[in-house]
């Protein structure tokens, strides 16, 4: 059951709903089943369509020469323990070891240094959707903590000024909000504590959502890189007065954790519950035969219905099994709408419409079906969004002292002076992580008593 044993529920649903096969013989690497891969494609189509408004998609190599990877000292300190290395070609030792990208700053920025010449080349906004490799030492988990991240969307931008790059981080926040709104996933945006910012960044903003077990999951990050990488990789442009200036950069990334969130936040004990926009099957039609009725007429009506609904991803399930078994199968796959046609529906010129998210059944006139179906699709997203948001809100609690969070799950807001020492003390006393800074409020830091308007978010996290 999702409520009582989330971890078991999660592992079961990945197999039962045909998302991932976890039997691949390398730790932290998993196989996408075809159904899961369709879900992945549809989800990333949404993300792509948002990015394509004003970014261009590109592709950079998987392998990064050691000397480039090691150039930015902060960056490599953050990643050195997580890098997979290629050191041989056949039997020959390579002159320069090659890293499998853990993320692509050091693959992309040497090229930015060549590409960017003048202010006319700015802003530059590109993204790629690739696999990345991280030798994670924490407990690996499908879609959540991977050693091969198969669906890493990373955007990289360059700007004329620090302020322009800041505006881009704001734009990226808006973009990720739109993305997660389309998936019905609620989020909290916070500014990561400085000691936990992305290695090489001026600051990091994070999107977190709450999993059913009350632990938070970071589902995206946005980094202002300042001129840190520009100085290392010599990325300069000639400004309007003819002077050479360093660019300011940002990068922001989302991985298949977005799919882990969709599965976990919306799913129930029957299986997946999917937002219609990304559901691989949006409508399933099931003929209900009975002894007295004319099966051929029912099947004919179902076929006509399928043709009429061709603008949706629709399946007519004519398998020779009981309707109950079909309901069970498609509920598990998260199909938002089920349509049934039986003898009674046929005689009334109606269709029975059943919603996956509520289980509610209703008889809909055949002539009104198109309209009612479109309406139902919107209502599904609205309803699952509302439910998910209510869960997040009811599990977000303001506390006065860090001990109040100890042994509890959920997200806690607490005053904080922003110093690293007090932040670490908060973590220690609550046995939770500081996710970041949230909206300001007057208060006193519970560790040092200093007056502050800053509040920290504390949560046990994945
Ligand atoms: N270059 C930057 C932005 S593109 C970067 O690598 N940022 S990151 O390290 O914070 O990763 C971006 C997002 O990827 C994280 O917010 C997190 O949601 C996800 N992520 C990070 N590590 C893993 C992992 N091992 N498995 C699955 N997802 C991960
Ligand atoms: Zn303090």
* pLDDT tens-digit readout, 159-188: 999 999 999 999 999 999 999 999 999 999
pLDDT greater than 80 at residue 253:
yes
The architecture CATH gives domain 398-459? 2-Layer Sandwich (3.30)
Provide residues with CB under 6 Å of ligand 1.
103, 105, 134, 136, 145-146, 149, 154, 198, 218-221, 223, 251-253, 255, 257
Cβ-based neighbours of 104, under 8 Å, separated by 6 or more: 60, 64, 128, 130, 132, 154, 156
Residue nearest atom 11 of ligand 1, based on CA coordinates:
253
| pLDDT given at position 127 | 98
| Fold of the CATH domain 281-376 | Rossmann fold (3.40.50)
Instruction: Among the bound ligands, name the one nearest to the CA of residue 414.
Output: 2
Do 58 and 91 touch, CB atoms closer than 8 A?
no
All structural domains of the chain with their residue ranges: 6-266, 281-376, 398-459
Would you say the pTM of this structure is higher than 0.75?
yes
What is the per-residue pLDDT across 33-72, written as a single tens digit (0 to 9) for each?
999 999 999 999 999 999 999 999 999 999 999 999 999 8
| pLDDT given at position 75 | 87
Report d(CA 425, CA 445) in Å as an integer.
Answer: 11
Reported confidence tier of residue 455, pLDDT bands at 50, 70, 90: very high
Cα 423 to ligand 2 centre (Å) = 7
Cα 215 to ligand 2 centre (Å) = 25
Strand partners, 208: 188, 218
| pLDDT given at position 293 | 73
Mean per-residue pLDDT, 391-397: 97
Burial 11-40 (b: 16+ CB within 10 A, else e): eebbeebbbbeeeeeeebbbebbebbbbbb
How far from 170 is each of 197, 230, 420, 438, CA to CA, in Å? 17, 21, 25, 15
DSSP secondary structure of 105-128 = HHHHHHHHHHH--BGGG-SEEEEE
Do 240 and 263 touch, CB atoms closer than 8 A?
no
For the chain, state the CA radius of gyration. 25
Residue of 31, 34, 57 whose CA lies nearest to 45: 57
| pLDDT given at position 421 | 97
pLDDT greater than 90 at residue 294:
no
Mutate which of 127, 257, 259, 264 for ligand 1 pocket (most atoms within 8 A of beta carbon): 257
Residue nearest atom 15 of ligand 1, based on CA coordinates:
220
What are the start-end ranges of the E strands in 272-410?
A: 283-287, 314-316, 337-341, 350-355, 361-365, 396-398
Cβ-based neighbours of 350, under 8 Å, separated by 6 or more: 363, 364, 365, 366
Cα 255 to ligand 1 centre (Å) = 6
What is the per-residue pLDDT across 98-156, written as a single tens digit (0 to 9) for each?
999 999 999 999 999 999 999 999 999 999 999 999 999 999 999 999 999 999 999 99
Report d(CA 142, CA 131) in Å as an integer.
Answer: 14
Which top CATH class is 6-266? alpha beta
Residue nearest atom 18 of ligand 1, based on CA coordinates:
219
Strand partners, 365: 350
| pLDDT given at position 147 | 98
pLDDT greater than 90 at residue 340:
yes
What is the pLDDT of the chain when averaged over all its residues? 97
Instruction: Among the bound ligands, name the one nearest to the CA of residue 205.
Output: 1
Do 285 and 312 touch, CB atoms closer than 8 A?
no
Instruction: Among the bound ligands, name the one nearest to the CA of residue 436.
Output: 1
What is the per-residue pLDDT across 431-446, written as a single tens digit (0 to 9) for each?
999 999 998 999 999 9
Cα 222 to ligand 1 centre (Å) = 10
Report d(CA 389, CA 368) in Å as an integer.
Answer: 31
| pLDDT given at position 291 | 81
pLDDT greater than 80 at residue 82:
yes
């Amino acid at each position: 059951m999702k409520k009582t044993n989330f971890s078991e529920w999660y592992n079961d649903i990945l197999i039962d709903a045909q998302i991932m096969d976890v039997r691949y013989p390398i730790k932290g690497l998993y196989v996408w089943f075809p159904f899961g891969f369709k879900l992945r494609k549809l989800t990333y189509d949404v993300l792509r369509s948002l990015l394509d408004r004003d970014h261009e998609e590109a592709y950079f190599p998987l392998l990064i020469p050691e000397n480039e990877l090691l150039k930015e000292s902060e960056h490599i300190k953050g990643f050195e323990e997580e890098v997979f290395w290629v050191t041989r070609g056949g039997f020959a030792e390579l002159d320069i070891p090659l890293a499998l990208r853990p993320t692509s700053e050091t693959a992309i920025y040497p090229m930015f240094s060549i590409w960017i010449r003048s202010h006319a080349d700015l802003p530059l906004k590109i993204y790629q959707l690739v696999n990345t490799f991280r030798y994670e030492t924490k407990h690996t988990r499908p879609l959540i903590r991977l050693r091969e991240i198969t669906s890493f969307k990373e955007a990289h931008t360059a700007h004329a000024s620090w302020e322009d790059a800041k505006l881009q981080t704001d734009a990226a926040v808006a973009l990720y909000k739109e993305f997660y709104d389309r998936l019905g996933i609620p989020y909290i945006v916070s500014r990561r504590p400085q000691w936990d910012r992305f290695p090489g960044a001026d600051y990091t903003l994070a999107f977190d959502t709450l999993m059913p077990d009350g632990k938070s999951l970071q589902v995206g990050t946005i980094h202002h890189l300042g001129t840190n990488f520009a100085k290392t990789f010599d990325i300069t442009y000639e400004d309007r007065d003819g002077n050479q200036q360093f660019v300011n950069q940002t990068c922001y990334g989302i991985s298949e954790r977005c799919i882990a969130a969709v599965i976990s936040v919306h799913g129930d004990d029957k299986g997946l519950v999917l937002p219609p926009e990304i559901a691989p099957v949006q409508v399933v039609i099931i003929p209900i035969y009975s002894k007295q009725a004319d099966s051929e007429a029912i099947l004919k009506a179902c076929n006509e219905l399928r043709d009429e609904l061709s603008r949706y991803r629709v399946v007519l399930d004519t398998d020779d099994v009981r309707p109950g078994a079909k309901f069970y199968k498609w509920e598990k796959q998260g199909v938002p709408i089920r349509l049934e046609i039986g003898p009674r529906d046929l005689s009334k010129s109606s269709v029975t419409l059943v919603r996956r998210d509520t289980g509610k059944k209703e008889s809909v006139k055949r002539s009104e079906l198109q309209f009612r179906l479109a309406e139902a699709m919107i209502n599904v997203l609205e309803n699952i969004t509302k439910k998910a948001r209510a869960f997040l809100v009811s599990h977000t609690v303001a506390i006065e002292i860090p001990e109040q969070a100890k042994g509890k799950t959920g997200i806690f807001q607490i005053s904080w002076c922003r110093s690293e020492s007090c932040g670490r003390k908060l973590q220690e006393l609550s046995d939770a992580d500081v996710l970041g800074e949230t909206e300001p409020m007057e208060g006193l830091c519970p560790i040092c008593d200093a007056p502050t308007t800053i509040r920290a978010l504390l949560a046990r996290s994945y």
